[in-house]
Structure formats: C-alpha cells, structure tokens
Amino acid sequence: MSNPPPAPPSLADLRKEIDAIDEQVHQLLMNRADIIDRLIKVKKTQEVGSAFRPAREADMMRRLVQRHRGILPLDTVEGIWRVIVSTFTYVQAPFSVHADVSVGESAMRDSARFHFGFVVPYVAHFSAQAAVEAVARSKGDLALVSTTSGHTPWWITLEPAGAPKIIARMPFIQRADHPAALPVFAVSRVADDALVLEVETWSIRVSGWNAQVSRALSPLADVIAVPDTAFDGAALLVSIEAPSHLDSIKAALIAAGASVRSTALVGGHAKRYTVPS
Ligand SMILES: O=C(O)C(=O)C[C@]1(C(=O)O)C=C[C@@H](O)C=C1
C-alpha cells in the first residue's frame, strides 16, 4: 500500500518561510551598507564629488537581467536594484537629480523615480539648459535630459574642460514596455576614470545644414540637431558607436555638402543593451 501524499503546508508555515527570507534580505542589505561604508574610504568619493559609476551600474544591470528567471517581473527586480544602487550612491555623496520636464512631466518624473528612487531629491526644470546649468553650478548633482529632442543646444555647456559631461544613457536595459522607457542622458561631473566611452557623444557645429545632410548622417549615428538660422548651420549632438567614428561622421557631413566648424567630446556612455522580447 502506498503512503498518503504529505499534507500541504499551512498558511502559517508558508508565512514563517516568508518572514525568514525577509529577515535575510534585510540583513543582507544592512551588510551591503557596511561594505559601502568601507568603500567610501577606498574610493575617496567625497573628493571627486559624485559616487555614480555608470559603467559599473550598466554592467550590474546586465548581469541582473541575464540571471533573472521565474514569475517575479523583471520590471520589479530592476526597479528594486535601481533604488538600492542609487540610494547607496546617495549615501556616499548626497546629490540631487535635475530633470528637464519640457519633454513630458510625468514620463520624466517616472524615469527619475524609477532610476533614483525617492530618497534622492528631485528638482524639475522647464528646459534642458536650466537642468544642465544647475548641475554645472553644483559639485556632484546630476541632470536628466531627453536623448531625442532639444529646443536649444544645451550640450554646448558641456564643451569646456572641467564642465559636466554626459555619463550615462538610461534605461540601462532597454525592452518593450519598460516602465520608465523615456530615453534620457544623465549629465554629471564624474572622475575621469569613471567616464565610459563605448558610445561617444560629440558636440559638432556645422554650416550648410539641411535635410539631405541630416539623411546622410542618420544611418551612421543618433543625432539631435538644433538649426542655427543665423549661420545656415546647426548645433548637433551626435552619439557615435564603433564601427562609426568621429572621422567617418565628419567625412559623411562633408560629402553631403556641409562643413564642420567645431567638434568637442561632451561625454559618453555604455553600449545600449536590449533584452529580446
Ligand atoms: O562600485 C562602486 O563604485 C560603488 O560605489 C557601489 C555602487 C553600488 O551600490 O553597488 C554604488 C554606486 C555606483 O554607481 C556603483 C555601484
């Protein structure tokens, strides 16, 4: 005779298991905080201004996605880790997020809260220029601006040495129906060795800008263009990823009939990582 199947666990038993896991998760977070406390001294965060290390974060988010499985939504896991990592960034050196809400208040606020949580102060600005200028006046604050639209060439503020730079593009993990899908550049001052240039962002000023020149560039790079009617030209923010290169962009501009008046590297970010649907 076979034994009767074991009785299913009671609700109280399952809740005991959940309590034990919650305690472990909480304990592990406190252990993580202790490590951050030691890391502050090693990293000399206070001297540089910002503790944000976008390349490290992009890598952490990629690994998170790659090992994730099961019924827990990836959106939830990514959101939890964004709050953990950005809170520990804040704990090392407090900063504010200055967001350009001219591209849509709710989408920008969702992006700021998803990526930086509620502990990091959020400051709304009515233009990208104002957000970037607030960062330029600060020691380690960070601006969020759209990667796709520009009413003014705010990136010119980033040209001088010592000015803040584009340091990240978020979301770090792209996928269909991302809960904070608005593509944004993060602009901040970071240590030179923290700048990642897998994709370079260049400020390029051109003369002879027109639709044909714009079409010639679009297969080679992502471009935001602000036409400058006084000079028949434009201020461009061009995101360049290998195999494209600044020289190939310049050559394409010239071949299409434009001339290049100036170029300046204004930052960079990790390669875009897309989760297949
Ligand atoms: O690795 C670092 O440099 C850290 O400061 C730690 C940490 C984290 O909490 O994991 C926090 C901020 C950085 O942007 C990256 C990672």
Domain boundaries, the chain: 47-194, 200-268
Positions in the chain whose pLDDT score sits under 70: 1, 45-48
Count other C-beta atoms under 10 Å from residue 22's C-beta: 10
How far away, in angstroms, is 251 Cα from ligand 1 center? 39
The whole-number pLDDT of residue 272 equals 87
Q: Please count the other Cβ atoms lying within 10 Å of the Cβ belonging to residue 34.
A: 9
Nearest to 165 by CA among 149, 183, 182, 145: 145
- Closest to 82 in 3D by CA, of 122, 108, 52, 105: 52
Predicted local distance difference test score (pLDDT) of residue 217: 94
Q: Which atom of ligand 1 is nearest to the CA of 43?
A: 3
Report how far residue 192's alpha carbon sits from residue 162's, in angstroms, rounded to the nearest whole number. Answer: 10
C-beta separation of 168 from 186 below 8 A: yes
Which CATH architecture group holds 200-268?
Answer: 2-Layer Sandwich (3.30)
Could you give the 3-state DSSP secondary structure of residue 168? strand
- Atom of ligand 1 lying closest to residue 45 CA: 5
Ligand 1: lining residues by beta carbon, under 6 Å: 39, 43, 51-53, 56-57, 85, 88-89, 92
pTM: 0.93
Residue among 64, 81, 85, 188 to mutate when testing ligand 1 (max atoms within 8 A of CB):
85
Complex ipTM, two decimals?
Answer: 0.99
Would strands 165-170 and 184-188 be described as parallel, antiparallel, or unpaired? Answer: antiparallel
pLDDT given for residue 47 in this prediction: 65
Token couple for 44:
């000399």
Placement of tokens 């001339």 in the chain:
259
CB 265 within 8 A of CB 53: no
